[in-house]
Amino acid sequence: MSKVLVVTTYGGPEGQRLIDREAPSPGPGEIAIEVRAAGVNPADWKRRQGAFGTSAALPVAMGLEASGVVTSVGEGVEGFAAGDEVLGSPARGLGAFAEHTVLAAGRSLAKPAEISFAAAATLPVAGTTAWDLTHQVDAEAGRTLLVLGAGGGVGRMVLQIAAARGLSVIGVASASKRGAIEAAGAAFVVSGDGAADRVRDHVPQGVDVLVDLVGGSALRALAPLVADPSGIVSAADASTAVELGGAGRRRSAGALGAITGLVRRGLVDPHVVAAYPLRDAGAAIAAVEAGHSGGKIVILP
Ligand SMILES: NC(=O)c1ccc[n+]([C@@H]2O[C@H](COP(=O)([O-])OP(=O)(O)OC[C@H]3O[C@@H](n4cnc5c(N)ncnc54)[C@H](OP(=O)(O)O)[C@@H]3O)[C@@H](O)[C@H]2O)c1
Smallest CA separation from ligand 1 atom 48, residue: 235
Smallest CA separation from ligand 1 atom 21, residue: 152
Which ligand 1 atom minimizes the distance to the CA of 192?
A: 32
CA of 75 to the centre of ligand 1 (A): 38
136 and 88 in a common domain: no
204 and 147 in a common domain: yes
For 160-202, the pLDDT digits (tens) are 999 999 999 999 999 999 999 999 999 999 999 999 999 999 9
| Mean per-residue pLDDT of the chain | 97
182 and 238 in a common domain: yes
Residue 150 lies in a domain: yes
214 and 145 in a common domain: yes
What's the pLDDT at 34?
98
Smallest CA separation from ligand 1 atom 45, residue: 236
From 154, 259, 271, 298, give the residue whose CB has the most ligand 1 atoms within 8 Å, as the site to mutate: 154
- We report the CATH number of the domain holding residue 187 as 3.40.50.720
Mean pLDDT of 212-222: 98
Q: How many domains does the chain have?
A: 2
Residue 201 lies in a domain: yes
Residue 257 lies in a domain: no
Q: What is the domain extent for residue 233?
A: 127-248
- We report the CATH number of the domain holding residue 86 as 3.90.180.10
* Segments in the chain forming alpha helices (H): 42-49, 117-120, 128-135, 153-164, 178-183, 195-202, 216-222, 238-243, 255-264, 281-289
Mean pLDDT of 112-135: 98
CB-based pocket (< 6 A), ligand 1: 41-43, 125-126, 129, 149, 151-155, 173-174, 177, 191, 213-214, 218, 235-236, 249, 288, 291-293
For 2-54, the pLDDT digits (tens) are 999 999 999 999 999 999 999 999 999 999 999 999 999 999 999 999 999 99
222 and 141 in a common domain: yes
What's the pLDDT at 248?
98
C-alpha radius of gyration, the chain, whole number: 19
Is this prediction's pTM over 0.75?
A: yes
Distance CA 223, CA 158 (A): 18
Residue 265 lies in a domain: no
